[in-house]
A and B are shown apart, each in its own frame.
Chain A
Amino acid sequence: MDNEIQKVLIIGGGPTEIGHETELDAACVQVIQAFKKQGIRSLLIDNNPFSVALEDVQPTNIFIQAVTANNVQRIIEREQPDAILASVGGVTAISVVQELQENGVLADNDVKTLGIPADALMDINNPDRLNDVMRHVGVPVIASETVGTLDEAINVATKIGYPVIVKPIAPRIDTNRMLCENEQDMISAISRGFSWSRFKQCVIEQSIVGYKEIELVSMRDAMGTQVLIAGLENIDPIGIHSGDSMVVTPTLTLSNEEYETLRDTAFAINNQFQFTGVVHTHFALGSSENSYYVTKVTPYNDRGTSLVACATGYPIAYVAANLYLNQKLTDVHLPEIYHFKQTALLEPSLDHVVVRIPLWPFEDVKNADQHLSTVMKSVGSTIGVGRSTEEAILKALRSSQFSPQDELPSMNDLTDSQLISQLIHPLSSRILVLIEALRRGYQIDELTELTKIDPFYFVKLRHILEIEDHIKAHPMGVDALHEGRYYGFGDGMIARIWHTDIDTVRKLGQDNHISPTYKGIEPSAGELLNSPTAYYSTFELENESQQISAKTVLVLGRGGNQLGPNASADYFTTEMLKQLRKSGYQTVIMNTNPNAGSLTATLSDKQIIDPVQLGDIMNVIAIEHPVKIFVPGNRHYLTRELRHRNYVISILPPDQEKRSELLNDHANIGLDLFVTEGHIVPILASDLRSDRGIATTLDQITLMRTPATLTDQQLTAIIAHAKDYLGAHKRTGMVQMLYTTNGQQAPQFAGVRPTRLTTIAYLNKVTGINWVRMLVRQALGEIDEDLIAKLAVDIRSDRRSQVRGTFPFKQLQLPDQLGLTTQEVGARISFETL
């Protein structure tokens, strides 16, 4: 242990955007937990209103500021931390620490970098320097050159030969590879590349499009001990960004020799750089012997490490936190929740398969180019866990389509030429198109040729079609139902194939004892560990999941991240879990988002990683018999169906199913209130704006600013009006009253709506009161009215703050446009000068 480190400045991940979502914050929460246990004081800078980590740090140690070099420098100078941690802040954090290393701020203030040594920091985002290191370690290197002008770029590309890849050096954002087929592509790619590079430089390199993309996640301690946690195999080849590719773990189509070669390479690189903590190494693997390249080294938490943590049950971020403090892997003793004391040293062995399918924002951003390429476009992902590849693929697919009835869309209206075009130039419907091609009788060899996807996956997809045919041919067949469920078909899918309803399907299952068996997700493949907290379902012999208590609440997670309120939903879910536990309930969460903080093992008593669909939910209910089911946000079909079956549902925030009542769309003032049986508590009055100024419709309101531009008199008037109105209309929980003002005139009432999830997160930060927890207590009937009366909410506070939505237009290569609430990818909050 490094005793010189007492105080660490942690750089948060900032607002969610394409490239990262909640995984950074989830990792940050675990790091803070581990640091606390080691007696380390954590300081945290972040301006993400949906950060759970911000709730876990002492208010005096929080800096709600944008993650920029200037802001971090100011904090360093004022607080004099012993060390700085960039490993839970993504690319932005790495870039900021690089800058502070270069300009001497770290050295001047005697601040150590944790995890990534200062020298390595300069190398990892610079493909040129990375290649030097590769040569030193003896790893094959792709032909490449650094360029600073367009002319140079064209010359180099001509020399190497198109297609080539353009990568910005030290990019500010996580979109770092662009494929250029010709000079025209090069001209547009290079200008973008220069603008993303902190040095206005790019690397041009030989294209390895079509290679397999493999990723390894490993841990290393300061002594040099290393553990390989898992391998990830991208089903799509290089050419499609790994964030936009379907990914499977463990690797299924690699030979032992290939795998061990990559393992040795990853370890050699980790040693060369002297990394500590978690490292995610990306490889391109060719089909001929020994043709492999390292394409990227990310020695920090990212979506790859969170997927692996979720798939293996190995608490990566928690263990890494100990390693940052120079603890040895042999000495890391984990809390009981993480299986057993030596889990940190166990190389995980899996007895299940996990498939991740990305989610794209094209429903909400219709004018974006939907082709998948080397630039990432997805905003979230869902996973399916199964005992067969088919089961894992189907479960991931069922969660990725968000069909309330649990059905998959059909692709049969594509013409053959459209189909071929989409096989070669994939869209976000990639996997459905692959299935459609097989359905039309395309041969596996042809498809492998067109897509460069390993034939193994086509064999599996074709098997799914065979099972579907079997189900079709045997309406209400017991064997067909068993086979379908065994391979991951949902009850809703089977009901649709049979033209019946889900209850009929479930009754057939019940009558014939085709029951789900839950299997533990843990890193020893059943050899060492007995009682994990995470489970998935399948249909085999042994069920390992028993009812955990007579006082259980089931929480239905939101699944994969999408645009809109989803960005805040995981924060909401997490705070909900904390309060439920505090109120004395055992909690079970169902979710499929591998990046979700709400799936962290320490937050709930049981995590079920299964599609959050009606059949799967009823399977969980049949075991847990929860006293209540909590639904963050609302899912209309599910809540209706569950209520119809007499389950007790609490939708939070409440009244989400009640429609907004609007007199007009031109609201520019919002008044948020908390309403109980006995009290109406005004919380905050704010100006409501669009990203560009005046909002002319409600869905343009993506910015809230406080204090509101109201006179005292106006504020008094709207509070009085709101109390009157809410007293007369039955609404409880949190509501936002809407008003229109115009100068000194009395505000006009414009309508009322449930407070948005996004807004609640903001209210928490502004008031210092956790309104999510209040809502949970209200739903549990635990509200102490006397306490509500004494709530210290200062609605006349003149502290200036704002929250504004952020949009993915830049990454989607769209011109800047007016963002709508449904297009928010994240949000940022500020308390500074506005």
Chain B
Amino acid sequence: MAQRFLILEDGSIYPGHSFGAGATTTGEIVFNTSMLGYQEIVTNQIYHNQIIVFSQPIIGSIGIAHDSYESILPTAKGMVVRDITDISKNRQRSLSLDQFLKQHNIPGISGIDTRHLIRQIKQTGTIKGSIVDVADDHAFDQLHATVLTNQQVAQVATPRPYPNPNQGYNVVVIDFGLKHGILRQLSKRDCNVTVLPWDASAQDIINLDPDGVLLSTGPGSPLDLPESVLDMIRTIEERIPLFAIGLGHELFALANGSEITKLKLSHHGANHPIRKIITNEIIYAMESEEYVVDPDSVDRDRLITTYLDLIDGSIQGLRHRDYPAFSVQFFPDGAPGPDDSVDLFDEFVEIMGTRE
């Protein structure tokens, strides 16, 4: 494997070996402490613009599986790992992680002291980096000059509506960078789903006469989306049961007067205990948070906090006082990660039922 380098904005250089695509790439460095599910992670659209560092050192060991895509066209900017295994286990023995990344033009670098890198990012906070062939001044100049787009949702969300037909409740999913786990959970519950583009208007939604609306996960900052999205949410939540996840949750909070802050260091992992406030239960779920709801800004006349991360104290769930609308910051569909909170989808179905 050819030698390549991971370089960071602060001047640090990590030599490693190339896998996946050989392109030069630049993105925000984020790390994920999940123990499983590299395929689900790298295909999750929330990593658009980002280079993902895996703390689990052994990556690629089960190849690529047909049922582990969180999107068919991944848009992550790169993978940084300690150890990569070139193995394929599907029936054709035809698709390893390495081949998959090549096909999607995503570069990877292995042989990196990822533990050191993570400990370093902890100090510097979120930082930009590149995977390059030569770690020279030119590479650093390019890195510093690269401006990452903030129109991420528009880049990854579906431009046109599409259906996922079934016999049950009629659900409209607004795609901000939709994670397929959400569709799988709705399918399991027989929901008849129509996925609409991120900029769908309230009228577009209402025209489909849904029993419920789900605001999906997605990449980037909720503050980069136009006010019209918040207007849509404010209109819908009054009339139709609403469930919002990830970026959807952040938008739901914004639409209801809360403020969003950017974390100095993003957190991606499934190891933090989360308290479900109403029952005092502790659950675990995949969290991917870069933006969180500022707890002091929550308008308590409108919103109730439902879930709390016990390690960093972040708000993990909200519920509207007046409307059948609720949201979670974490991924209740797992993929990867525990499905301790998968019953939130049942709750959503139940709410759609009571409204009937």
Measured CB to CB, the residues of A under 8 A from B are: 223-228, 250-257, 259-260, 263-264, 329-330, 342, 345-353, 387-389, 455-456, 459-460, 517, 519, 523-528, 540-542
Contact = CB atoms under 8 A, between A and B. Distances in A.
A350 B56 contact: yes
Interface string B83-123: 10111010000000000000000000000011110110010
A254 B280 CA distance: 31
B155 interface: no
Contacts of A459: 85-87
Contacts of B56: 250, 349-351, 525
Given A250-B35, A350-B35, A524 B87 contact: no
Contacts of A353: 57-58
A263 B337 CA distance: 10
Interface string B114-140: 111011001000000000000000000
Nearest to B339: A260
Interface in B300-356: 310-311, 334-339
A540 B83 CA distance: 12
A456 B35 contact: no
Given A342-B311, A349-B33, A387-B57, A519 B282 contact: no
Contacts of B115: 351, 387, 519, 525-526, 540, 542
Nearest to B88: A455
B272 interface: yes
B36 A525 contact: no
B80 to A, nearest CB: 13
B210 interface: no
A387 B83 contact: yes
B141 interface: no
B187 interface: no
A330 B89 CA distance: 41
Contact of A255 (B35, B62, B280, B338): B62
B218 interface: no
Contact of B338 (A260, A350, A387): A260
A342 B313 CA distance: 12
Interface of B: 14, 31, 33-37, 40, 55-58, 61-62, 65, 67-68, 82-83, 85-87, 89, 113-116, 118-119, 122, 267, 269-273, 275, 280-282, 284, 310-311, 334-339
Contacts of B86: 459
B339 A351 contact: no
A526 B282 contact: no
Contacts of A519: 115
A475 to B, nearest CB: 23
B311 A255 contact: no
Contacts of A460: 85
B55 A526 contact: yes
Interface SS of A by simple majority: loop
Contact of B36 (A256, A330, A351, A527): A256
B270 A347 contact: yes
A-B pairs with the 9 shortest C-beta distances? A542-B116, A540-B113, A525-B55, A256-B37, A256-B336, A541-B113, A349-B33, A345-B273, A347-B271
Given A256-B335, A540-B113, A349 B62 contact: no
Contacts of A523: 271
A263 B58 CA distance: 21
A126 B281 CA distance: 32
Given A255-B36, A456-B62, 14 more contacts: A226-B282, A228-B338, A253-B62, A256-B335, A257-B68, A345-B282, A347-B271, A349-B35, A350-B35, A388-B82, A517-B113, A524-B33, A525-B118, A525-B269
Contacts of B37: 255-256
Contact of A346 (B113, B116, B271, B281): B271
A485 to B, nearest CB: 14
Contacts of B83: 387-389
A519 B57 CA distance: 13
A256 B65 CA distance: 11
A388 B31 CA distance: 19
Nearest to A530: B119
B75 to A, nearest CB: 20
B338 A346 contact: no
Of listed B35, B114, B116, B334, residue having the most chain A CB within 10 A = B35
Contact of B113 (A250, A329, A330, A542): A542
A526 B118 contact: yes
Contact of B311 (A250, A526, A528): A528
B116 A254 contact: no
A265 to B, nearest CB: 12
Given A524-B271, A542-B113, A225 B118 contact: no
A545 to B, nearest CB: 13
A226 B284 CA distance: 9
A669 to B, nearest CB: 58
B68 A527 contact: no
A514 to B, nearest CB: 14
Given A330-B310, A346-B311, A349-B33, A527 B55 contact: yes
Nearest to B335: A256
A256 B270 CA distance: 12
Contacts of A526: 55, 115, 118-119, 122
A348 B56 CA distance: 11
7 contacts: A227-B273, A257-B68, A349-B269, A351-B82, A353-B57, A527-B269, A542-B119
Contact of A455 (B87, B118, B269, B282): B87
Contacts of A259: 36
B23 to A, nearest CB: 25
A488 to B, nearest CB: 12
Contacts of B335: 256-257
Contacts of A349: 33-35, 55-56, 269, 271
Given A259-B36, A350-B35, A342 B269 contact: no
A255 B87 contact: no
Nearest to B63: A456
Nearest to A389: B58
B57 A329 contact: no
A351 B282 contact: no
Nearest to B86: A459
Contact of B272 (A255, A263, A346): A346
A527 B118 contact: yes
Of listed B68, B122, B311, residue having the most chain A CB within 10 A = B311
Contacts of B334: 256, 260
Nearest to B265: A527
Given A350-B35, A541-B113, A456 B271 contact: no
A419 B320 CA distance: 68
Contacts of A540: 113, 115-116
A231 to B, nearest CB: 8
Of listed A227, A228, A387, A526, residue having the most chain B CB within 10 A = A526
A330 B86 CA distance: 41
A255 B68 contact: yes
Of listed A256, A259, A455, residue having the most chain B CB within 10 A = A256
Contact of B337 (A256, A525, A527): A256
B170 to A, nearest CB: 28
Contacts of A223: 280
B268 to A, nearest CB: 10
Contact of B282 (A254, A257, A329, A352): A329
B67 A252 contact: no
A459 B87 CA distance: 8
A98 to B, nearest CB: 31
A644 B86 CA distance: 45
Of listed A224, A227, A250, A349, residue having the most chain B CB within 10 A = A349
Given A345-B282, A524-B271, A542-B113, A254 B62 contact: yes
B177 to A, nearest CB: 20
Nearest to B268: A527
Contact of A351 (B85, B114, B311, B336): B114
A388 B113 CA distance: 11
Nearest to B280: A223
A342 B310 contact: yes
